A and B are shown apart, each in its own frame.
Chain A
Amino acid sequence: QKEVEQDPGPLSVPEGAIVSLNCTYSNSAFQYFMWYRQYSRKGPELLMYTYSSGNKEDGRFTAQVDKSSKYISLFIRDSQPSDSATYLCAGGPGGGADGLTFGKGTHLIIQP
């Protein structure tokens, strides 16, 4: 079973707020987890990747993985209107080459 579940939104928050985006997954073999940002009519761009459980921070973005509950999170601090986009989470088994499994994406709107 290869599924990643994600609330499609839209999620609308005021500028400057902390945003929390979440996914759940079902495949216990997943070791690598990614977050992609996709602007309208553009290709997905890699924001962050993490390996196994734990946190990873990059600027205003923090990715969090809890493998025990099969839960993936992305936090955006000091959100900006330019963060308005669709955010895709993805997972895949370690060392695998047969493709990541993507969630359907959450549409995020940051209101100025």
Chain B
Amino acid sequence: NAGVTQTPKFRILKIGQSMTLQCTQDMNHNYMYWYRQDPGMGLKLIYYSVGAGITDKGEVPNGYNVSRSTTEDFPLRLELAAPSQTSVYFCASSLQGNNYGYTFGSGTRLTVV
């Protein structure tokens, strides 16, 4: 049982490049989330999904896109990377939304130069 798996673990992007952060979970959770964590700033919600085919914006969605074609996968797309997107990105999943908490992946550390 792998839980929530994120790839890659580390990535360096140049300004203007694009990339997709992968997230997959094997717990059959309907709810999935993307957060970013900046030093001293806590976790900020980027996008979330309540099931396949359904996504919605969180607190800081600008510069990102998501899709949810299957229950298991919730990729995060960065278009035209900017230095402000340098952060650690965490994917999480939950069986019942806010109830009982989330299971987080190990994160993707992204640097934009």
Name A residues whose Cβ lies closer than 8 Å to a Cβ of B.
2, 4, 8, 32, 34, 36, 41-46, 49, 51, 88, 90, 92-100, 102-105
Contacts and interface: CB of A to CB of B under 8 A. Distances in A.
Interface residues of B, number: 27
B56 interface: yes
Contacts of B45: 98-99
Contacts, number: 70
Contacts of B7: none
Interface stretch (B11-19, B71-79, B97-105): B97-105
The dominant DSSP class at the A interface is loop
A43 B31 contact: no
A7 B74 CA distance: 33
Interface in B82-113: 90, 97-107, 109
B101 to A, nearest CB: 4
26 contacts: A4-B42, A34-B101, A36-B101, A42-B107, A43-B104, A49-B100, A49-B101, A51-B99, A88-B42, A88-B43, A90-B101, A92-B97, A93-B98, A95-B99, A96-B97, A96-B98, A97-B50, A98-B56, A99-B33, A99-B35, A99-B59, A99-B98, A102-B42, A102-B43, A104-B42, A105-B42
